[in-house]
Structure 1
């Protein structure tokens, strides 16, 4: 990470270090001379472990940042979990239960007396004990208020700058806060249009929870206020004591010498804004109905209505019989499926769709066009707000409707384990940041007993972790909780409307749209030399949601608006998390499911104790009107609204808990953002015959068949899948079989085929030859696959589909997500790979060419002209093209890697959100935070 401006470089001179010396001597938050309280009841023994790289400490003073820049030092506990996390990619083959401690930390309750690093009492009724090994805060309160106050205080200690950064992102105010770099603009343009709340909207959400959710709602808001009080207490103390995060100086918020400046006080409504960012990243589904309409029209234009619709359904794969599912017990959970006869569908006139303009009035440093967040390409230069290698990319979701889930779970019933107790290896894959979006904590107090992680700034409860005798985790589910309505435009005086009209018909009345704006201006800062500038963001809001597109239908102007069920309910899920932390509530699988039912975002929840495993899919699934096809826009008429829809608080009837996919004690569960159950439709493309969930399912199924599963063997299965190329394991066999129909005469092609076959037989790994070698065991095969895949897909499908349809389909589902590609919540170097792609289409098409069954796929093969010879020629031609591409083009390099460096191109790099950076680690496609648990007993 390079410093951007001359002013910041100047700060790293000896004169600046002299300035920093005074800050080095400034007292930090004092560790009171107190004994840690006794540990809470813990029924896990030595069976619970976890890991969260790079480290628990995410704050750094200015002196620590300058020392890091000049001397390479880092604050204590900033990166001490990075090494163990990295080592698993090499160490998993010989992993045993005894060796788990080399790769995971002990997640027992409390801190042993000889492991206490510090004890802090911010109030008389709460104690924060930190352990020596990783510095995790263990918060124990004698009162409920004190417990939550301590949670907020510890959050300030570990993530004050990050929390401040993200509350500004959620409010669409990042550029005035952190600088006007183009990618900073792109980031606020990505999130604010999803939840363009006014302060009154945010306050209303707080009151909704307090007034409509009973005693738990009132307690949740009291807990939130106590958490904010603790966060503000640390904010004030760190400012007065001059040990606040150094980023406040680097962005001009506080003067390093005079200490003049302010860290704006936090409010409960900040948590709502922050929750909208977290939910937008990981808990939404659907919303791509306009894009689906465009691709359907392209298919019908190419093939005619009947055949075009059938071809489109092949690619949509709403209920692919071959896709991997979390529930494989024969149960069915119909939701958001294709109706027998659709009603109210509102397809646009061809060529009439226009994306709603978001950005206006660019001045100064804003004149260079920022990326339209909806049209942003798959590969984006990362945010350059504070540093050259940035903070976040503007395109967090990839193609339309593809919300990045990126978490996995593996659970095995006690019937198939060595101990007779369930085993679970699970966690969220939330990207790699420095510091992490998640923070570790233990909370013990009246009605609260849990340890795990929470998103910084909304950590009044542990969101993923363990209780006294149970553990839980989640993966993003992406079922469809967002719909698009076509509102008829009108003019209040009765004139002829245009596509730009700002009035629409709502239940027969011409109604004005509500215009919401953000006027953002910024000045250059020490950390960002971007010229001063300003611009204005603008969205229109209707009773049916936010305007995203304008078009005509049968020549009449309409606006397409997006309505998600969690809009205006960003923090309602707090009730479910409160229940998961409550040992008085969660006592078994049944009570766990009741807690998960109170979480509104689309997640798959998993549970394990000493007796049972369980699964429940959460989400505010709206009940749609009969005959509505949720894949496409529908007319904004009462007949097609969600049942009992009330726009005041965006409430409606929702599918009952029994209709959500769920199970107890299935032989095993796997989830890697794959399909939940038969007939349960996701919110977008990608749940096809080949999915990265297959990498887990195949391995865990084999373990279960053999029996005697242990924590180590289940972790090995996860870790092996984490370094495996999905294309190589699942699709390369068919590719090579088509090629092998005849002998390959070309010596270069023959050698490439030999290398690919050897890689396949080795398990298609993207793995170092030895720890620290920074070289793959099959580098040529990996490079060939990376260059070949996009070429073979285009050559196999585009000629038959035609340019328009191929472009429309690839806009909805990207062709590839290899590790070196720029995608996911941190752009390139994101770890997460192979979530969305065309591997299932290629697999089915090749089987069709080979004359084999391919369920859920028309018998019209796309590769070549559908014949084996023509398809083989297509594959060989594109393979020859791939071989001619030099490594420097396959891996073009970036701010972190030289062109052609294969290992580095794949490597995981923690994206800096502040002044501290970390080394790259080898690629692993695994959860960011991960638990390995096996409870030997129960309360």
Structure 2
């Protein structure tokens, strides 16, 4: 927890904690360890060859006494961080990894718990048992009835993640500040989620009511969710009465540590929809960058004229780049959202006219006098900052050591303490699965394994969100201005729907000076939520965001239910059928003993002919989604066969890269260099010359990519070729170039000199490239782009995404000025890697498929390009470590390893140590099934 209670409250809390530590129970009476037989494990066909890991640890609840002991003595509750060490240590040990060592870095993900490994058995009802193992404390839930099974899942979720669940049901409603305090980051975060998914309570309930009409599976899912909530609420009651609830409720003033006055609000079905909206907004949406794209197009036209400017804009967009690494490399095309030859209905804003929609009203105490200086519980830009996530490597049985497929895959959901995900095993009538699920939505395993198959996902991000330019109007005949609250819809002038959320907070921390409040407002139209205003051809418009999954975040419940049902998933076809019932934009992967498979999910709207999905569209019937119904926010969607899909390709890799040829990338910069290349190149090398992959070799390939600097591996060679095209006579530059060459020859990785040294091998070369990249991007492109286009392009795709997030270059006020969330692990997803690579290869005379529309570095002249690179390198070499790695809340200035390090960002009162940087999934499975049902 990063907030301190008022000093008098803190003193009382400390005294109460001392009493609690001695006298209060640490588990409910129903949760005491019980002797006797444990429920039999379900059919498990993995034979011990399924492994997983999820740092920092399964236990995410701590009492007030445990939190204070952590602060004072550094002690932690059991299973709080026992998966962090194995996860972190793979970075240093992977080159020598053996089959026998895999379990040193991953947990046994077999079903059930051997009798001698049972730590406790909880029986919250007679029809369910929650068995926790000694090694990790993961709950293994076995029920004899469906209701009891799901009740147990809810009870176990509350045991492990009650505070996180409560936190995120408030985030999903845009109410974090009132629950966790008015820190600036808390307010920023709730504002961003409110802008993405503003719902009334009635609208949350409407999603539930809509599901109830979708058939037997949907009705069963709602029954499962109800039982799950009953389990959560039983634990809430028991923990409150027994005073062993999470201590964060004391520290935030929701419960009085001395008297126990206060309480925890019961959970209800609409909370689950709010939680699902958070997951959907973070990981399952795509598109929505049309205004940024339009700004690039307009700036390019202003600099180079309409024809040449449009060619340049199109080449920078890289919607279907022929050099992009593909998940499906079998030659098939899956056309979707491709730019049309003759766009229809495009609505470009007048230059300089766009103004973001005001969302905060009636603010009191939110300025200097009222904002806390404490950081928020979550990054304020958790939703708004671009960040990549998740990867997958799968090899078919035809290319493995024992003839059975191998998969190493998992999601990258960020690093938090406790995690947003939790591990669990659920066994009951119609359910048989083990894996990870988002806290508060764990009535089904969302990523994991069944009896004889495993599945995982990466964020796909295809374009399911469009921007419409909606004409503003008045009903009184008066002039129309940008502040008008009516809009044109099919010839009518309709009022915008004003959605409001009143938030207020109290001064609950020692460094808060005043209470505060404000009202969050979003205006909604039939064409979606108003995000900005401006003019098109001089006429005032509202720019709206229309997302196909808006008002439908709960619909995916059916697909997840099917993935957990051994009766629904027998093979690759059953897996793909289940994935088709998930409307979020994910790449889904599957492996059993015979097949590997892939399916890209999402409600992909069918657009009107000629509409360019990458630009704002005129709000007229001719340019609406086909069969669009604004009342339900439904439309016609592309059929499953048109979604990228495959069974038994030789291998699949995914790291949020392009899915297939013809499947347009949403946004900019998905071209010749992408971090997906790091996986693709390594798997190709494994299989070259008839090579066979194994669990060990595929894990090593993943971890090698996790430590690679994408720029060093795939762009630095061209940079060095240009620089070495003539002798480097400046001694300081020659020395820098030599260090870069040595590092690149050694693999271009960011690895410690030895495990735990907290110092990089090739540290100087790494520092030089970190400093050089934003400077060289500026030197290569700003002269040709000009300031306006350069700034517009950084607004569409940031220049850099380094591990530390601290090198944003000489720009100001653009996306690259806040390139990433620091200490987040995930890196190299977004950047100008492809632009630099294509441009330099063109300067060098190499063939380039899908080149940029014009040369940039030195205007295409090799000697001039070399001079520009050396001048920028000279500036980079002159930067001190403190300049390259500025201080932040976690690290002193100049500490390279610390700047890169992963921080398990505290969501509660217990903190965890930093770990060395690696770019890999948060939750990860290593699986190879030897048998099938």
The answer to whether the superposition gives a TM-score over 0.5 is: yes
Please state how far the C-alpha of 1:19 moved relative to its aligned partner. 4.2
Residues in 2 aligned to 1:591 and 1:585: alpha-carbon distance in whole angstroms = 6
TM (norm. structure 2) is: 0.97
Instruction: Map 1:178-217; keep pairs closer than 5 Å.
Output: 178-211=180-213, 213-217=214-218
Verify the 8 A CA contact 2:354 2:534 in the aligned structure 1.
yes
* Cα separation, partners in 2 of 1:699 and 1:251, compared to 1, 3 Å: same
Q: SS where residue 865 of structure 1 aligns?
A: helix
Tell me which moved more, 25-34 or 686-695: 25-34
1:809 corresponds to: 793
Verify the 8 A CA contact 1:429 1:928 in the aligned structure 2.
yes
Residues in 2 aligned to 1:250 and 1:858: alpha-carbon distance in whole angstroms = 55
Gaps in structure 1 of 5+ consecutive residues = 371-383
* Cα separation, partners in 2 of 1:538 and 1:258, compared to 1, 3 Å: same
2:44 corresponds to: 42
String of CA shifts for 1:530-556, please: whole Å, max 9, x gaps: 631111111100111100011111111
Is residue 147 of structure 1 aligned with residue 130 of structure 2?
A: no
1:733 corresponds to: 717
* Cα separation, partners in 2 of 1:527 and 1:684, compared to 1, 3 Å: farther
Q: SS where residue 152 of structure 1 aligns?
A: helix
Residues in 2 aligned to 1:393 and 1:659: alpha-carbon distance in whole angstroms = 37
* Cα separation, partners in 2 of 1:365 and 1:82, compared to 1, 3 Å: same
* Cα separation, partners in 2 of 1:528 and 1:107, compared to 1, 3 Å: farther
Residues in 1 aligned to 2:12 and 2:330: alpha-carbon distance in whole angstroms = 62
Decide which of 917, 922, 935 is 2:929's aligned counterpart: 935
String of CA shifts for 1:785-818, please: whole Å, max 9, x gaps: 0000000001110111000000000111000000
Verify the 8 A CA contact 1:431 1:928 in the aligned structure 2.
yes
Q: SS where residue 560 of structure 1 aligns?
A: strand
1:378 corresponds to: none
Please state how far the C-alpha of 1:593 moved relative to its aligned partner. 0.3
Q: SS where residue 48 of structure 2 aligns?
A: coil
1:21 corresponds to: 21
2:750 corresponds to: 766
Residues in 2 aligned to 1:739 and 1:535: alpha-carbon distance in whole angstroms = 55
String of CA shifts for 1:645-697, please: whole Å, max 9, x gaps: 11111111000000000111000000000000001012211311100000000
* Cα separation, partners in 2 of 1:368 and 1:609, compared to 1, 3 Å: farther
1:380 corresponds to: none
TM (norm. structure 1) is: 0.96
Q: SS where residue 769 of structure 2 aligns?
A: helix
1:223 corresponds to: 224
Residues in 2 aligned to 1:225 and 1:349: alpha-carbon distance in whole angstroms = 51
* Cα separation, partners in 2 of 1:142 and 1:276, compared to 1, 3 Å: same
Instruction: Map 1:302-317; keep pairs closer than 5 Å.
Output: 302-317=303-318
Q: SS where residue 145 of structure 1 aligns?
A: helix
Is residue 925 of structure 1 aligned with residue 926 of structure 2?
A: no
Verify the 8 A CA contact 2:184 2:376 in the aligned structure 1.
no
Residues in 2 aligned to 1:565 and 1:188: alpha-carbon distance in whole angstroms = 22
Tell me which moved more, 745-754 or 818-827: 818-827
Residues in 2 aligned to 1:178 and 1:858: alpha-carbon distance in whole angstroms = 48
Is residue 498 of structure 1 aligned with residue 484 of structure 2?
A: no
Instruction: Map 1:330-369; keep pairs closer than 5 Å.
Output: 330-366=331-367
Is residue 857 of structure 1 aligned with residue 857 of structure 2?
A: no
Residues in 2 aligned to 1:233 and 1:16: alpha-carbon distance in whole angstroms = 24
Please state how far the C-alpha of 1:22 moved relative to its aligned partner. 4.8
1:30 corresponds to: 32
String of CA shifts for 1:312-366, please: whole Å, max 9, x gaps: 1111000000010100000100000011211111111111111101112221144
Residues in 2 aligned to 1:827 and 1:617: alpha-carbon distance in whole angstroms = 27
Q: SS where residue 857 of structure 2 aligns?
A: coil
Q: SS where residue 334 of structure 1 aligns?
A: strand
Instruction: Map 1:122-271; keep pairs closer than 5 Å.
Output: 122-211=124-213, 213-271=214-272
Residues in 2 aligned to 1:928 and 1:512: alpha-carbon distance in whole angstroms = 45
Verify the 8 A CA contact 2:285 2:464 in the aligned structure 1.
yes
**Number of residue pairs matched?**
920
Please state how far the C-alpha of 1:495 moved relative to its aligned partner. 2.2
String of CA shifts for 1:599-641, please: whole Å, max 9, x gaps: 0000000000000000000000000111110001111111111
2:728 corresponds to: 744
Please state how far the C-alpha of 1:938 moved relative to its aligned partner. 0.3
Residues in 2 aligned to 1:57 and 1:4: alpha-carbon distance in whole angstroms = 23
* Cα separation, partners in 2 of 1:235 and 1:94, compared to 1, 3 Å: same
Please state how far the C-alpha of 1:21 moved relative to its aligned partner. 3.0
1:789 corresponds to: 773
* Cα separation, partners in 2 of 1:547 and 1:569, compared to 1, 3 Å: same
Please state how far the C-alpha of 1:420 moved relative to its aligned partner. 0.3
Please state how far the C-alpha of 1:519 moved relative to its aligned partner. 1.2
Residues in 1 aligned to 2:539 and 2:368: alpha-carbon distance in whole angstroms = 34
2:812 corresponds to: none
Please state how far the C-alpha of 1:528 moved relative to its aligned partner. 6.7
1:897 corresponds to: 891
Residues in 2 aligned to 1:326 and 1:433: alpha-carbon distance in whole angstroms = 29
2:836 corresponds to: 842
Residues in 1 aligned to 2:443 and 2:649: alpha-carbon distance in whole angstroms = 32
Residues in 2 aligned to 1:365 and 1:889: alpha-carbon distance in whole angstroms = 32
2:321 corresponds to: 320
* Cα separation, partners in 2 of 1:272 and 1:2, compared to 1, 3 Å: closer
2:809 corresponds to: none
Q: SS where residue 292 of structure 2 aligns?
A: helix
Verify the 8 A CA contact 1:250 1:526 in the aligned structure 2.
no
Instruction: Map 1:431-580; keep pairs closer than 5 Å.
Output: 431-526=414-509, 529=512, 531-580=514-563
Residues in 1 aligned to 2:614 and 2:69: alpha-carbon distance in whole angstroms = 54
Tell me which moved more, 422-431 or 256-265: 256-265
Is residue 874 of structure 1 aligned with residue 868 of structure 2?
A: yes
String of CA shifts for 1:391-449, please: whole Å, max 9, x gaps: 222222456xx4x3410000001101010000000000000000000000000011100
* Cα separation, partners in 2 of 1:155 and 1:527, compared to 1, 3 Å: farther
* Cα separation, partners in 2 of 1:851 and 1:712, compared to 1, 3 Å: same
Residues in 1 aligned to 2:331 and 2:449: alpha-carbon distance in whole angstroms = 30
Residues in 1 aligned to 2:87 and 2:198: alpha-carbon distance in whole angstroms = 38
Verify the 8 A CA contact 2:252 2:508 in the aligned structure 1.
yes
Q: SS where residue 155 of structure 1 aligns?
A: helix
Verify the 8 A CA contact 2:2 2:377 in the aligned structure 1.
no
Verify the 8 A CA contact 1:524 1:530 in the aligned structure 2.
yes
* Cα separation, partners in 2 of 1:717 and 1:12, compared to 1, 3 Å: farther
Tell me which moved more, 422-431 or 547-556: 547-556
Residues in 2 aligned to 1:438 and 1:723: alpha-carbon distance in whole angstroms = 24
Residues in 2 aligned to 1:925 and 1:27: alpha-carbon distance in whole angstroms = 37
2:299 corresponds to: 298
Q: SS where residue 932 of structure 1 aligns?
A: strand
1:377 corresponds to: none
1:756 corresponds to: 740
Residues in 1 aligned to 2:875 and 2:366: alpha-carbon distance in whole angstroms = 42
Residues in 2 aligned to 1:857 and 1:472: alpha-carbon distance in whole angstroms = 37
Verify the 8 A CA contact 1:405 1:475 in the aligned structure 2.
no
Please state how far the C-alpha of 1:860 moved relative to its aligned partner. 2.2
Verify the 8 A CA contact 2:334 2:662 in the aligned structure 1.
yes
Is residue 717 of structure 1 aligned with residue 701 of structure 2?
A: yes
Is residue 680 of structure 1 aligned with residue 663 of structure 2?
A: yes
Residues in 1 aligned to 2:69 and 2:474: alpha-carbon distance in whole angstroms = 62
Residues in 2 aligned to 1:679 and 1:530: alpha-carbon distance in whole angstroms = 56
Please state how far the C-alpha of 1:20 moved relative to its aligned partner. 4.1
Q: SS where residue 864 of structure 1 aligns?
A: helix
Residues in 2 aligned to 1:358 and 1:648: alpha-carbon distance in whole angstroms = 23
Q: SS where residue 487 of structure 2 aligns?
A: strand
